[in-house]
Amino acid sequence: MKTLDKESLDLKEESFTVERNLHLRHHKSSLDQSLEDNKTEVNSSQIEVDGYQNLSDPSSESILNASFCTQGTNRDIFEVTQSAESLTIPSKGLCNFGNDCFANASFQLLFSVAPLIRSFLDAHSSGSFASTSDVEVTSKFARLVNAYCNSETRVVRDRACRKCFSGQFTLNWQHDASQFISTLFEKIQQEHDKNDSILSFSEYDTWQSAWKFYREERTSIIDKLFTGFYQNTFRCKHCSAEEKNFEEFKNIPVYFNEDENEESQFYCKTCEDIRDCIIEKKVMVSPELLLLPIQRMDPFTMQKRHDFMEYEEDVRICTSEEGAQNYSLISVICHYGSIGFGHYTAYCKRQGTWKYYDDASVDERDQNYLNGDAYILLYQKQREIKNKLI
């Protein structure tokens, strides 16, 4: 059994293990680590996660405007949060036209993010974009959001957004929900920024300057809500020389075991050779929405792992400069069955109530129904709402 509690979390990002003030334990392994054990070397890789800054500062653009406007305002993110929280998101079913459960569960998860829904509703009602090929995914997703929130039907029958991905996610076939969400994010970001190139941070010496550059280049609503920022320090095990680089992330994969890591290497400029290294990985900017895909694919057997997982509704991430960042669970995607033959559903919390979404069916559930078949967890950062708007 794997446990996600309020105190600590072991996460692995790519080939690394990310340890934070959340904790995952597996009953088959001896991971009885104390909370003070924040630097555990796994093979040749070491990762320390330590956040230093919230996603937005008081001068940041409005999340709601940044998605579709070329110029944002200077409204504080607290105001944006308050505005979005006033939105009442309905609970409706989504029609399954044929093996669409992975997309339906993904949409239900995203429909629980009030600032995201508010942004697309505002854009749709104001006609911020035309339904043309260069913003096809964005416009179709906005249409789906509008139909979900404003139509009188209890089950939304709209496959247009799903069909936008028919080239990558063949219609009527089974697909992975985590990959679908990542692809949806990528498409919306590309259509907004009109640029699908990978950003390079090699010319920046500090994470602050690298992050500022990223925020200037990537201004979509997806980036505003889901993007966090890493600083990676590579320490040569031969000469102890250090090098740093930076990277953004939109999710942190959760792995069951820590013993799957391979020895990490990099080109050491001091040694002028390929060397083993210790990698210290720090989260410098924590995202508003913490997306945790559970890696249930066994890399050796290529079969799904059915390990039971327990997780808490509230978790905490400690940061050096701003103290603890509190996150609350707002949505869970579950997967039943095997990789080749299975079914996706979602648990979502809206207006303080947990409900179970199974394609066209919607049932009210207590949080005790949240179970060990979790495939994706979505946590939202909790903020104190300012009484005075700036």
Helix (H) or strand (E) holding 180: helix 177-193
Residue 264: pLDDT over 90 = no
Q: What is the pLDDT of residue 318?
A: 65
- The per-residue pLDDT for range 286-307, each reduced to its tens digit, is 899 999 999 888 878 888 888 8
- The per-residue pLDDT for range 93-108, each reduced to its tens digit, is 999 999 999 999 999 9
Tokens linked to 388: 């005075």
Residue 41: pLDDT over 60 = no
| pTM to 2 decimal places | 0.78
3 state SS for 209-265: HHHHHHHHHCCCHHHHHHCEEEEEEEEECCCCCEEEEEEEECCCCECCCCCCCCCCE
The neighbour count for residue 203, using CB atoms within 10 Å, is 8
How far apart, in whole angstroms, are the C-alpha atoms of residue 282 and residue 304?
A: 30
Tokens linked to 16: 């690394």
Q: What is the mean pLDDT of the chain?
A: 76
Q: What is the pLDDT of residue 197?
A: 79
Tokens linked to 108: 């239900």
CA Rg value for the chain: 21
Q: How confident is the model at residue 147 (pLDDT cuts 50, 70, 90)?
A: very high
Query: Rounded to 5 degrees, what are φ and ψ at 274?
Result: -75, 125
Using the CB atoms, write b or e for 253-289: b if 16+ within 10 Å: bbbbbbebbeebebebeeeeeebebbbbbbbbbbbbb
Q: What is the pLDDT of residue 137?
A: 92
Amino acid at residue number 135 = V
Higher pLDDT, 180 or 321: 180
- The per-residue pLDDT for range 157-168, each reduced to its tens digit, is 999 999 999 888
- The per-residue pLDDT for range 187-203, each reduced to its tens digit, is 999 888 876 678 899 89
Strand partners, 350: 353
Instruction: Give the CATH number of domain 51-253+268-381; options: 3.40.50.20, 3.40.50.300, 3.90.70.10, 3.30.365.10.
Output: 3.90.70.10
Residue 18: pLDDT over 50 = no
Residue 73: pLDDT over 50 = no
Contact 61, 30 (CB under 8 A): no
Q: How confident is the model at residue 224 (pLDDT cuts 50, 70, 90)?
A: very high
How far apart, in whole angstroms, are the C-alpha atoms of residue 298 and residue 243?
A: 33
Helix (H) or strand (E) holding 208: helix 207-217
Q: How confident is the model at residue 85 (pLDDT cuts 50, 70, 90)?
A: low
Strand partners, 242: 235
Residue 9: pLDDT over 80 = no
Average pLDDT score over residue span 257-269: 71
How far apart, in whole angstroms, are the C-alpha atoms of residue 139 and residue 145?
A: 10
Helix ranges, 32-176 (H): 63-66, 77-85, 101-110, 114-126, 136-150, 160-163
Q: What is the pLDDT of residue 227?
A: 93
Residue 56: pLDDT over 80 = no
Residue 271: pLDDT over 90 = yes
Q: How confident is the model at residue 327 (pLDDT cuts 50, 70, 90)?
A: very high
Q: What is the pLDDT of residue 298?
A: 81
Q: Which of 214, 217, 232, 181 is nearest to 47 (CA)?
A: 232
Q: How confident is the model at residue 131 (pLDDT cuts 50, 70, 90)?
A: low
Q: What is the pLDDT of residue 21?
A: 32
- The domains of the chain are located at 51-253+268-381
Q: What is the pLDDT of residue 120?
A: 92
- State what percent of residues in the chain have pLDDT above 90: 43
Q: How confident is the model at residue 322 (pLDDT cuts 50, 70, 90)?
A: low
Helix (H) or strand (E) holding 333: strand 323-337
Q: What is the pLDDT of residue 86?
A: 76
How far apart, in whole angstroms, are the C-alpha atoms of residue 39 and residue 128?
A: 48
DSSP structure string for 116-139 = HHHHHHHHHHHT-S-S-GGGHHHH
Q: Which of 194, 177, 215, 92 is nearest to 138 (CA)?
A: 194
Query: Rounded to 5 degrees, what are φ and ψ at 160?
Result: -60, -45
Q: How confident is the model at residue 72 (pLDDT cuts 50, 70, 90)?
A: very low
Show the CA angle centred on residue 129, arms to residues 126 and 130, nearest 5°.
115
How far apart, in whole angstroms, are the C-alpha atoms of residue 30 and residue 265?
A: 27
Q: What is the pLDDT of residue 75?
A: 38
Q: What is the pLDDT of residue 263?
A: 59
Q: Which of 251, 182, 250, 192 is nearest to 221 (CA)?
A: 192
Higher pLDDT, 223 or 308: 223
Q: Which of 176, 158, 163 is nearest to 105 (CA)?
A: 176
According to DSSP, residue 384 is labeled P
